[in-house]
């Protein structure tokens, strides 16, 4: 079991090596974290891996270019941890997490 930290949010969750990063978040019942096709074809769950080792399945180049992947971006639905991971949501995922944090703080 590995720990996944969502950078800047204070959120951490467990993720088994055979479980993708998106599914592990969903199992915990996290609200506001967008998920699209869950198969690597829509790009909604794009994140940047800041630290840790991982392996990834095939991702659509329409959603994630080779340059983005070299820069540490992956699709959470196709990424599996090989160690503890620190990731940073990008675009839509980041906005949803910020909204969730505001709701939890009662704002």
Pairing of strands 11-15, 2-6: antiparallel
> What is the C-alpha to C-alpha distance for residues 42 and 47, in angstroms, rounded to an integer?
13
> What is the C-alpha to C-alpha distance for residues 3 and 14, in angstroms, rounded to an integer?
5
Which CATH number describes the domain made up of 2-104? 3.10.20.30
Residue closest to 88 by CA, chosen among 3, 4, 1, 24: 4
Give the pLDDT score at 91.
63
Regarding predicted confidence, which is higher, 70 or 93? 70
pLDDT tens-digit readout, 4-24: 988 887 888 899 999 999 888
Give the pLDDT score at 2.
96
The domains of the chain are located at: 2-104
pLDDT tens-digit readout, 46-87: 889 999 999 988 888 888 888 888 888 999 999 999 999 999
**What is the pTM for the complete model shown?**
0.77
Q: Strand pairing partners for 14?
A: 3
């Amino acid at each position: 079991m590995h720990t996944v930290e969502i950078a800047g949010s204070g959120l951490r969750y467990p993720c088994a090596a055979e479980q993708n990063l998106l599914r592990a978040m969903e199992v915990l019942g996290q609200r506001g974290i967008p998920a699209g096709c869950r198969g690597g074809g829509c790009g909604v769950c794009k994140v940047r891996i800041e630290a840790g080792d991982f392996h990834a399945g095939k991702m659509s180049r329409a959603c994630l270019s080779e340059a983005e992947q070299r820069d540490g971006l992956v699709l959470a639905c196709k990424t599996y941890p090989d160690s503890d991971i620190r990731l940073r949501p990008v675009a839509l995922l980041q906005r949803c997490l910020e909204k969730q944090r505001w709701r939890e703080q009662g704002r």
